[in-house]
Structure 1
Amino acid sequence: MRQIFTAALALALPFAFAQAPVTGAKNPERLFTSKDAKLNANKQVVLHIVRDLLEANHWKDAPLYISERYIQHNPLVASGRAPVMAFFGSRPEGPIPKDGEWKTKVVSVLAEDDLVIVATVRELSRPGGEGTYTTTWFDMWRIVDGKADEHWDGATLPEKP
Structure 2
Amino acid sequence: MKSLIVAGLLAAAAVSSPAVAQEPVIAAQNADQLFTSPDAKLNANKQVVYRIMRDLLDAGQWDRASELLSDEYIQHNPNAKSGRDAVVYYFTQVLKVQPRPIPEKLNMKVVAVMAEGDLVTVLYPRTVKDASAPGGSYSTTWFDTWRIKDGKAVEHWDPALMNEAPDLR
Give 1:143 shift.
Answer: 0.3
Matched, 1:95 2:101: yes
Q: C-alpha separation between the residues in 2 aligned to 1:65 and 1:120?
A: 21
Q: C-alpha separation between the residues in 2 aligned to 1:117 and 1:145?
A: 17
Match of 2:167 in 1: none
The DSSP-based 3-state class of the residue aligned with 2:71 is: strand
> Paired residue for 2:123, among 115, 119, 134?
119
Paired letter, 2:90:
F
Paired letter, 2:126:
R
Contact 2:21–2:138 under 8 Å retained in 1: no
TM value normalised by structure 2: 0.81
Give 1:15 shift.
Answer: 5.6
Give 1:18 shift.
Answer: 5.1
Match of 1:134 in 2: 139
Match of 2:63 in 1: 60
Paired letter, 1:123:
T
Distance 1:18 1:153, change over 3 A: closer
Paired letter, 1:39:
L
TM value normalised by structure 1: 0.85
Match of 2:54 in 1: 51
Match of 1:86 in 2: 89
Instruction: Give me the identity figure in percent.
Output: 52
- Give the number of equivalent residue pairs: 153
Paired letter, 1:112:
E
Give 1:83 shift.
Answer: 0.5
Shifted more, 65-74 versus 124-133: the winner is 124-133
Paired letter, 1:97:
P
Paired letter, 2:128:
L
Query: Where does structure 2 lack aligned partners over 5 or more consecutive residues?
Result: 165-169
Paired letter, 1:91:
V
Match of 2:157 in 1: 152
Shifted more, 121-130 versus 10-19: the winner is 10-19
Q: C-alpha separation between the residues in 1 aligned to 2:101 and 2:28?
A: 20
Distance 1:79 1:111, change over 3 A: same
The DSSP-based 3-state class of the residue aligned with 1:106 is: coil
Q: C-alpha separation between the residues in 2 aligned to 1:70 and 1:12?
A: 47
- Alignment root-mean-square deviation, CA: 2.3
Distance 1:60 1:16, change over 3 A: closer
